[in-house]
Structure 1
Amino acid sequence: MSQHIHSYFSEMPLYQKAMDIIVLSRSISTYINHDLCTLSENGEEDEHIYFSGDIVQQSACLTPEIVNAERARFSDKKHEHVEAVNRLVSKLYNNCKRLERINSNGKDYLPILKKELKKFRKLQRTWMLTL
């Protein structure tokens, strides 16, 4: 039965797009962290390094919320998980905007992530109608 459930979610376009976002955000974060991990002359770390970790954390939380929304029996619980997905996507988008102002070559890949988030939003609207 577990195989059947995994297969069901892996075939969902929204779930697939969330997985794409996870992979993309991890790759971008790794690239950015390499540029931001050095300390400044006064010994302080770059404050933007935390935003790169945030995009990974927020993207990783998308799929469990989708699964929880699908599995929830009552509509109020479904809507709680849908709202959580909305918040995560908004935070991801805002963190992408913050990271676009950093001094790293990795910021060139952030528009790709933002574009994927827009695609995710479109899929999300359709998905919400099916719940």
Structure 2
Amino acid sequence: MNYNLPSHLKDLPVYQKAMDIIVLSRSISTYLNQDLVYLNTDGSEDAYIYFTGDIIQQSTNLAPEIINAERERYSDKKHQHLETLDRLTHRLYNNCKRLEHSKSNGKDFLPILRGELRKFRKLQRNWMLTL
């Protein structure tokens, strides 16, 4: 992914953790999709399959929000990006919790992603204080 990064951004721990979360969520989603793609006995699809796409979308949006917050000059707009980042992190965490109730062997990897999200939140709080 190339977002035309400022040179200092690659060194930010919060940005590096966001990139780790993207890779991890894609891997977990791929693993979960293999179990959830099949139809139920009544012909309906598994409702949890949509959450796998959600975790990819939300994790992919973390890095651009960090970049936008770093680039923004005005504090009001900077806070908007920070609020968006906070909402994305919260939704991603909740979707991981929901996916843990799915009927898949891949749900065993979701606590790892939630642990990474907790680490990301700590880094995010410290990073927000520097802006």
Q: Same fold (TM over 0.5)?
A: yes
| Partner Cα distance (1:8, 1:46) in 2 | 43
Counterpart position of 1:69: 69
Q: How does 1:1-131 map to 2 (within 5 A)?
A: 5=6, 7-131=7-131
Q: Which structure features the higher share of helix residues?
A: 1
Q: TM-score, normalization: structure 1?
A: 0.95
Post-superposition Cα deviations, 1:25-50, rounded to whole Å, max 9, x if no partner, equal 00000000000000112211101000
- Kindly report the root-mean-square deviation, in angstroms, between the aligned alpha carbons of the 2 structures: 1.3
| Partner Cα distance (1:55, 1:3) in 2 | 24
| Partner Cα distance (1:19, 1:34) in 2 | 23
Say whether the 8 Å CA contact 2:5–2:67 is kept in structure 1: no
| Partner Cα distance (2:73, 2:111) in 1 | 37
Moved over 6 A (4+): none
Any unmatched runs of 5+ in structure 1?
none
Amino acid in structure 2 at the alignment position of 1:18: A
Quote the sequence identity (%).
66
Say whether the 8 Å CA contact 2:89–2:117 is kept in structure 1: yes
| Partner Cα distance (1:35, 1:4) in 2 | 37
Any unmatched runs of 5+ in structure 2?
none
Q: CA shift at 1:96, angstroms? A: 0.5
Q: CA shift at 1:8, angstroms? A: 2.0
| Partner Cα distance (1:4, 1:27) in 2 | 24
How many aligned positions are there? Answer: 129
Amino acid in structure 1 at the alignment position of 2:64: P
Post-superposition Cα deviations, 1:80-120, rounded to whole Å, max 9, x if no partner, equal 00000000000000000000001101000000000000000
